[in-house]
Amino acid sequence: MKPPSRHALVLSATLALGLIATTPAWAIYKIVGPDGSVTFSDVPPSDTQGKAVQSLSGPAAPAPNDFGGFPTALREAARKYPVTLYTAAQCDACDAARAFLQQRGIPFTEKTITTQADIKAFKALSGGSDSLPLVSIGSTKLSPGFSSSNWDMALDAAGYPKKNELPRTYVRPQPTALVAPPAAKASTPEDKPAPAAPSVLPPPNPNAPKGFQF
C-alpha cells in the first residue's frame, strides 16, 4: 500500500482542525463611517461609535426543513458543514466547480461576485484573495481555484456521501449576490415636487366684453 503523500497528510490535518471548529469563520461586516466611507472586515469593530455596522452572513446553511428528505449521512453533513461556492460570471473554472458539486450531489449555496461592493467584501472574506472560484465547507475555506481532488478530499472529511444522494424533489437555491443591493427608498408625499406655477400669463380672450380684463 502506497503511503499518503506529505501534501495529503497536511491537507487532511488542516481540514480536520477546521471542520472541528464550531465558530463560523466566514462572518463579514460592512462598516459605514461618519463620512460615508464604506469598508468591509471579517473582524467585528470594537468601537462602533459614529459608525453603522451591518453583519453580512457568510456560508449560511439552508433552512432545516430543506433536509427533511435527505439520507442520514447527507443530512448531518449539510447541517454541520454547509457548503458555499463563490463565483463570478464568465468564469470557466466556476462553471466546472458548480458542475462538480451538482454531480456529487452536494447541497450548496452560491454567492456571486459582481459589483464593487461584492469585490471588497470578498477580499475581506478571503484574506485579500481575488481568485475564483472559492469554496467553504463549514468554517474551512479551501485554496482559491478549483481542484476536484482537493475538493473531494474535503467533502469526504466533512462526511458527505461520495455519490449523489440528493432527493429528486430537492430544489437548489438560486445564486445570490454576496452583498445584497440597498433597498429602494419608498417615496413619500413630501418627496413629490409641487406643481410649478405658470411662467406666462394666458393670451387675452378676443371674445371677452370690452373693458374686461383677466
pLDDT at 23: 41
Residues of the chain with pLDDT under 50: 6, 9-10, 13-14, 17, 19-25, 58-65, 212, 214
pLDDT at 1: 52
> Domain containing 81: what range?
58-180
CATH code, domain carrying 163: 3.40.30.10
pLDDT at 61: 46
pLDDT at 25: 46
Q: Which residue has the cell 429528486?
A: 168
Q: Is residue 47 part of a domain?
A: no
For residue 81 the three cell numbers come to: 458543514
Domains identified in the chain, total number: 1
Q: Is residue 164 part of a domain?
A: yes
pLDDT at 68: 76
Q: Is residue 124 part of a domain?
A: yes
